[in-house]
Structure 1
Amino acid sequence: MKIPTSFALVSLLLALPAFGAPAPQVEALSRGLAGLQQADGKVFLSWRLLANDPADIAFNVYRTTEPAGATPIDFGAFASTPDTPPGTVRLNIAPIADVTWLLDPAPTLRYTTTYFVRAVIGGVEQSSSRPLAFAAGAEPRAYHSIAMKNPEGHQPAEGSAADLDGDGDYELIVKQEGRAFDNSKSGVSDPVILQAYKLDGTLLWQINLGKNIRAGAHYTQFIVYDFDGDGRAELACKTADGTVDGKGKVIGDASADYVNAGGHILAGPEFLTVFDGLTGAAIDTVPYEPARHPTNPLAPTREELKAVWGDGNGNRSDRYLAGVAYLDGVHPSLIMCRGYYTRSCLAAYDLRGGKLVKRWLFDSSAGPESNRAYAGQGNHQLSVADVDNDGRDEIIYGAMVIDDNGTGLYSTGWGHGDALHVSDLTPANPGLEVFDIQERFDKQGMSLRDAATGRPIFTVPSVKADESGGDKGEGPGRGVAFNIDPRFPGSECWAAGSGMTKMFTADGKVICDRPRNTPVNFAVWWDGDLLRELLDQNFIGKWNWETQTTDRVLTAHECISSNGTKATPFLSADLWGDWREEVVWRTRDGSALHIYTSPIPTKYRMVTLMQDPQYRCAIAWQNVAYNQPPHPSFALDPALPLPVRRTVTVLPRAAR
């Protein structure tokens, strides 16, 4: 179905920031050359188009084959592969100007083989990219593997990606967990351990958050981003007495133990620490705001906690969220949050001169009377986007939005929810939209609203609440908005739970009864078109609009998903190669992470998603609480033109 021209123009123009808006800083990335050695002996290569590349940039791709005597020869699977002459050859005839991939049909992989890319600008070939090497006789496989160095009793749970050493390539930051608990449950957890790995498996550092930080989805939210603009990312998270940084230095009192009989930590100092991304050393530590209690933060009674948060056991006071936002339109700020069932608090910090400087604190229980409307409106996750198109980010906290200056932009009053998606979800509405679901059984079981004003575009009521179990009496527990069907403009929307069984268009019209096996989880751009594929558990599927089923595209048989029944990937992000996304899963025994990248050609060429600030911020907050998939600030749709490049400031590489 074709989108009317007026809709297409509105969507295109609103993808641009306000005229004269400052340019946000983004990291300086390498060409990110990636390759997959296929079962037929061919090698699929792809690389990044960068935000500061000229429009007419093209590329040459080279292959270097070592001489026959330089490496051991193991014919094995390559016995019938003809020899390629040793030396370096260019694989393309004319510079590649329309895509950022190439299929090498005839490498000799029994010998060590190396690839590199050179940009061509104005007819002049530039310097070589970092090489990509295949060891002699390496077995074909569909993923890149990183071996884990798991602490005893721990396995990788979820992660993030950032350039920690300033070389333009991403490292993976791994949250290692053992025993972990929901806030509503009792039990003494194992300490949360954060690790940083280079993509070759080198362990850079390990941070042990200690016994006074409880393990669980709602406790440790870690944000990894280049906050000070030095070309290397930092890590920020909540800490406590006994946290040990990456250099072995203890924060606070190493002997303190505030764990109560039920395993909860409702006493003792609470800190916010920012760590050096290269070494794991603590850079600065400040008190965590807001504290558990305004006048008795170190040892509040159950009655005091209940008076402030609504209960005395930490189920409400110890619900944390975190993110990163360009509050001034240029520099990233750290967002640390506490509470969403009742009292909701968000604090913003800048990292300047090695010190955390508080920018503002929003508190639904303090400040102007209008703030009270923001209590109980938060989700199990947040999102960040420039919803009012002023060049500065807002924090979408669920049913409410906080403006860049720390004041309330609006609250819908629809209450707490479990899923959240923010992007240009419908071309019929100017700007961005918010898809949300509401946990309470109400007429806003599922909704799409204008992100700038909160105006409903459509709402779908909950139908039938569960009659037993943890979701008794509640609305839907899952919901998504992805562009998967080319017949309808914008994103298709659906939810699961409370009797919600339909799939809807972006303007609220019913498409069909949603098949029971249709995933309601993550999504990924994988197969080369502009529609998104569905990502759930350990597989990727494509919506078949003709049969109204989901066709399996890839299954990572040796891997499992994270977060129990949430069944999310360890991470999904555009980590390398062309604009499409990679998926990271852990192996079933937890001994390794496998990074899957698409080997499918695409006719589209666009800048890496990681240099769209909204998408990049989404990768930073993806690990937070109930993990949600990332969305860019623009729409990708086969009936729309490709997005116009947003103006950004690419930071210089870190001094090495």
Structure 2
Amino acid sequence: MRPSLLALSFLLVAQASLPASPVPAAPPIAGTEAGATPARVMEYLGRGVVAVHQPDGAVFISWRLLGTDQADTAFNLYRTTGAGPTTETGPFSSRPDPVAGTIKLNAAPLVAGTWFLDPGASLQRETTYFVRPVLAGQEGAPSTAFTLRADTPPQPYLSIPLQTPVGYTPGDASAGDLDGDGEYEIVLKQEQRPLDNSRAGTTGDTLLQAYKLDGRLLWTIHLGRNIREGAHYTQFMVYDLEGDGCAEVACKTADGTTDGTGTVIGDPAADWRQPDSATVATSDASGATTTTAGLVARLEGRILSGPEYLTVFAGRTGAALATVPYEPGRHPDTQTPSTEQMKEVWGEGYGNRSERYLACVAYLDGEHPSLVMCRGYYTRAVLAAWDWRDGQLTRRWLFDSDAFAANRAYRGQGNHSLSVADVDDDGRDEIVYGAAVIDDDGSGLYSTGWGHGDALHVGDLVPENPGLEIFDIQERFDQQGLSLRDARTGRPLFAIPSVKADASGGDKGEGPGRGNAFNIDPRFPGAECWAAGSGMDGLYTAQGERFLEHRPRGFPTNFGLLWDGDLLHELLDQNRIVKWNWRNGAVDPLLIAHSCIANNSTKATPALSADLLGDWREEVLWRTRDNRELRLYTSTIPTPYRLVTLMHDAVYRLAVAWQNTAYNQPPHPSFYLDESAPLPPRPAIRVANP
């Protein structure tokens, strides 16, 4: 039986007085036996201390347990109070006047969790918190401190002021340690007039901006007019690709892209956009118009020719470190292909198929991260893997669905998203490309042949099935409207057919467009599954049994996260977090982010959802309606569980890296969380040099 929030509230004071009792040994680090795959090089992280002023005046503090911490690591928490007047007035004047300076808040080292409630802070003064790890009774070095400025108001979020240019809207974000200090910075995409590939029109110029969490702008990259704006064009990877302690940023670039130092890539005067009057005959109804001449697609604003590049930028400065031709190009023989040449390669000539991009980071050798840039999934699909080592960007391999006959089974199998995991348990990552999987060596592992879809979830979704599982929905009106399969082999575990095709709108004639798979109900083992669209309804167990005929009103189908401190997932949609209440068959609100707004239209996704700060729960990053601020929400609900930061689980960390790709999908860890299951072992990792 899971503890109620009332029961959890009694833990608030307990953290301050826990005895120094023995800590149960953590499970052994997986993969450390003789002959095991080398440990993965993950990013060095600090403690991520965060403090939130609560409405009652108390301060909730939490921090990270790292994947490299020993099992018996405990913590001491310190508060530094700034100088102030001897007698204070205001809402906290009845409290004992704290002495200016630093004091330890806990009587004995904290071992039960990585959070603490401080009811005695004088928040009219600057107040700072930091932790020290304790091993064998000896304190380690202090963490980076978190400071609440004097008179910080009670609010459940951290404010990140933005420098949003006039006419721009903040969009998707990613996180990485850009400057090597062990804490995350935010890379934010800013857009003007983004368009879907099916729509003609001239877009604006996309920006990538890097921010410290206090709102300091580090740099801005201008992608320029030759990179079209939209969810399918700019997939930006933020990751420490060479293990030097600082993340790089990688994305597709073109003539006129300007890096964070003002250096221009290619020809700054080039303009490869199609003119307003251009059209092309097509048999593809998506984005086409019927005229007296037949079915035509407008080309206005599309970019169908010109040089294409892949650039790696320095996280510290935004400077371009290396630029190479983007692989594959639109056509193998020319940068200015004709309509007929485009049709030969992609099946159409107006960029609806050729200009759909995906990207990810994967540990293809099991030890070091590689960059994987992708093009196409409706017909031809190409993935190019790159290594960034010692200042050189070199291609590792290229998979092309059209390269030879055996690969053609991989045509048309990709989703509007992708995922990365070691699905065959050989220590090296595979790329889950929708209904197919590409092996770590760039060969095809398998293709189900089920075709293109939208939502995609990869994790330990079915605990009784060995290894990982893949939840997918198929856009094609077919038997696999919603499916769960074994990740290693592609073997179907169950599939639920679409019952009808959508009758109108942009999804006319298609199958479901949304789907989720999370452990939300304690009555059933594994992840509950559901999909929306094409008449699909209800909730299913991980074994494919329908246990609820109709989803209740307001039941989200977009994102999920770990928020309230138990081991079940909560649901995230638009600007709210809710919890499935299985007792009354409804969802209960946990958080509404007032004055905030989600991104990506009906997909209603946050700028970013990830374990960015504090303990193992996930944070949510939303933009405000006036586009002047990002707000980072973090949970202040006590939890009885002490887990390693999710960002030191490779499957989860890589999911955060690819989250901004096309149709954003939520991250999953590699392990199963439930009160009926053992807590996950410490990860087999080593960290990059700080």
Do both share a fold (TM > 0.5)? yes
What is the alpha-carbon distance in structure 1 between the residues aligned to residue 129 and residue 101 of structure 2?
Answer: 11
Question: Secondary structure of 1:427's partner?
Answer: coil
What is the alpha-carbon distance in structure 1 between the residues aligned to residue 486 and residue 585 of structure 2?
Answer: 29
Question: Secondary structure of 1:615's partner?
Answer: helix
Pick one of 370, 375, 380 that aligns with 2:411: 375
Query: 1:386 touches 1:392 (CA, 8 Å); kept in 2?
Result: yes
1:165 deviation in Å? Answer: 0.2
Pick one of 606, 612, 627 that aligns with 1:569: 606
Question: Secondary structure of 2:380's partner?
Answer: coil
Pick one of 254, 258, 279 that aligns with 1:240: 254
Residue matched to 2:19? none
Over 3 Å counting, the alpha-carbon distance change for 1:68 and 1:451 in structure 2 is same
What is the alpha-carbon distance in structure 1 between the residues aligned to residue 32 and residue 415 of structure 2?
Answer: 27
Q: In the alignment, does 2:192 pair up with 1:178?
A: yes
Alignment of structure 1 residues 506-521 onto 2, 5 Å:
506-513=542-549, 514-521=551-558
Letter in 1 for 2:588: D
Question: Secondary structure of 2:343's partner?
Answer: helix
Deviation string, structure 1 residues 326-351 (Cα, Å, up to 9, x no partner): 00000000000000000000000000
Residue matched to 2:284? none
What is the alpha-carbon distance in structure 1 between the residues aligned to residue 528 and residue 543 of structure 2?
Answer: 9
Over 3 Å counting, the alpha-carbon distance change for 1:596 and 1:74 in structure 2 is farther
1:520 deviation in Å? Answer: 0.1
Query: 1:25 touches 1:330 (CA, 8 Å); kept in 2?
Result: yes
Residue matched to 1:462? 498
Query: 2:31 touches 2:37 (CA, 8 Å); kept in 1?
Result: no
Query: 1:14 touches 1:430 (CA, 8 Å); kept in 2?
Result: no
1:130 deviation in Å? Answer: 1.1
What is the alpha-carbon distance in structure 2 between the residues aligned to residue 476 and residue 616 of structure 1?
Answer: 28
Q: In the alignment, does 2:241 pair up with 1:203?
A: no
The root-mean-square deviation of aligned C-alpha atoms, in Å, is 1.6
Q: In the alignment, does 2:302 pair up with 1:264?
A: yes
Residue matched to 1:285? 323
Residue matched to 2:41? 25
What is the alpha-carbon distance in structure 2 between the residues aligned to residue 622 and residue 164 of structure 1?
Answer: 18
Deviation string, structure 1 residues 385-428 (Cα, Å, up to 9, x no partner): 00001000000010000000000000000000000000000111
Gaps of 5+ in 2: 3-26, 276-299
Gaps of 5+ in 1: 3-11
Query: 1:377 touches 1:397 (CA, 8 Å); kept in 2?
Result: yes
Question: Secondary structure of 1:616's partner?
Answer: helix
Query: 2:28 touches 2:682 (CA, 8 Å); kept in 1?
Result: no
What is the alpha-carbon distance in structure 1 between the residues aligned to residue 660 and residue 30 of structure 2?
Answer: 26
Residue matched to 2:136? 122
Letter in 1 for 2:663: Y
Pick one of 465, 474, 477 that aligns with 2:510: 474
Question: Secondary structure of 1:381's partner?
Answer: coil
Letter in 1 for 2:499: V
Residue matched to 2:387? 350
1:632 deviation in Å? Answer: 0.8
What is the alpha-carbon distance in structure 2 between the residues aligned to residue 190 and residue 399 of structure 1?
Answer: 33
Query: 2:454 touches 2:473 (CA, 8 Å); kept in 1?
Result: yes
Letter in 2 for 1:532: H
Over 3 Å counting, the alpha-carbon distance change for 1:344 and 1:648 in structure 2 is same
Question: Secondary structure of 1:54's partner?
Answer: coil
Letter in 2 for 1:41: G
Alignment of structure 1 residues 44-193 onto 2, 5 Å:
44-69=60-85, 75-193=89-207
1:84 deviation in Å? Answer: 2.0
Identity, % of aligned pairs? 63
Residue matched to 1:623? 660
Query: 1:48 touches 1:578 (CA, 8 Å); kept in 2?
Result: yes
1:81 deviation in Å? Answer: 4.1
Deviation string, structure 1 residues 349-385 (Cα, Å, up to 9, x no partner): 0002212100000000103x21000000000000000
Pick one of 418, 439, 443 that aligns with 1:403: 439
Query: 2:512 touches 2:532 (CA, 8 Å); kept in 1?
Result: yes
Deviation string, structure 1 residues 121-176 (Cα, Å, up to 9, x no partner): 11101121111111222211110001110122112111000000000000000000
What is the alpha-carbon distance in structure 2 between the residues aligned to residue 147 and residue 560 of structure 1?
Answer: 15
What is the alpha-carbon distance in structure 1 between the residues aligned to residue 386 and residue 32 of structure 2?
Answer: 24
1:276 deviation in Å? Answer: 0.5
Residue matched to 2:682? 645
Question: Secondary structure of 1:442's partner?
Answer: coil
Question: Secondary structure of 1:634's partner?
Answer: coil
Letter in 2 for 1:466: D
The answer to which of 639-648 and 80-89 deviates more is 80-89
What is the alpha-carbon distance in structure 1 between the residues aligned to residue 531 and residue 114 of structure 2?
Answer: 36
Question: Secondary structure of 2:656's partner?
Answer: helix
Q: In the alignment, does 2:368 pair up with 1:331?
A: yes
Deviation string, structure 1 residues 493-533 (Cα, Å, up to 9, x no partner): 00001111120000101110222421001111000000010
Query: 1:15 touches 1:643 (CA, 8 Å); kept in 2?
Result: no
TM-score (norm 1): 0.96
What is the alpha-carbon distance in structure 2 between the residues aligned to residue 86 and residue 588 of structure 1?
Answer: 39
Query: 1:74 touches 1:137 (CA, 8 Å); kept in 2?
Result: no
Q: In the alignment, does 2:324 pair up with 1:310?
A: no
Deviation string, structure 1 residues 253-302 (Cα, Å, up to 9, x no partner): 00000000211000100000000110000000000001101122x11111
What is the alpha-carbon distance in structure 2 between the residues aligned to residue 54 and residue 607 of structure 1?
Answer: 11
Q: In the alignment, does 2:644 pair up with 1:607?
A: yes
What is the alpha-carbon distance in structure 2 between the residues aligned to residue 16 and residue 506 of structure 1?
Answer: 28
Query: 1:238 touches 1:273 (CA, 8 Å); kept in 2?
Result: yes
Residue matched to 2:333? 295
Question: Secondary structure of 1:305's partner?
Answer: helix
Matched residue pairs, number?
640
Letter in 2 for 1:58: A
What is the alpha-carbon distance in structure 1 between the residues aligned to residue 141 and residue 380 of structure 2?
Answer: 55
Pick one of 521, 525, 530 that aligns with 1:485: 521
What is the alpha-carbon distance in structure 2 between the residues aligned to residue 66 and residue 13 of structure 1?
Answer: 43
Question: Secondary structure of 2:485's partner?
Answer: strand
Question: Secondary structure of 1:470's partner?
Answer: helix
Query: 1:503 touches 1:511 (CA, 8 Å); kept in 2?
Result: yes
The answer to which of 505-514 and 443-452 deviates more is 505-514
Residue matched to 1:7? none
Query: 2:29 touches 2:684 (CA, 8 Å); kept in 1?
Result: no
What is the alpha-carbon distance in structure 1 between the residues aligned to residue 91 and residue 650 of structure 2?
Answer: 44
Query: 2:30 touches 2:682 (CA, 8 Å); kept in 1?
Result: no
Deviation string, structure 1 residues 10-43 (Cα, Å, up to 9, x no partner): xx99986996012111011001111111010100
Residue matched to 1:40? 56
Query: 1:15 touches 1:633 (CA, 8 Å); kept in 2?
Result: no
Structure 1 consecutive aligned stretches of length 4 or more whose deviation exceeds 3 Å: 12-19, 73-82
Query: 1:22 touches 1:329 (CA, 8 Å); kept in 2?
Result: yes
Question: Secondary structure of 1:378's partner?
Answer: coil
The answer to which of 463-472 and 435-444 deviates more is 463-472
What is the alpha-carbon distance in structure 2 between the residues aligned to residue 613 and residue 499 of structure 1?
Answer: 36
Letter in 2 for 1:90: K
The answer to which of 98-107 and 331-340 deviates more is 98-107
Query: 2:459 touches 2:668 (CA, 8 Å); kept in 1?
Result: yes
Question: Secondary structure of 2:417's partner?
Answer: strand
1:63 deviation in Å? Answer: 1.1
Question: Secondary structure of 1:304's partner?
Answer: helix
What is the alpha-carbon distance in structure 1 between the residues aligned to residue 90 and residue 202 of structure 2?
Answer: 51
Question: Secondary structure of 2:653's partner?
Answer: helix
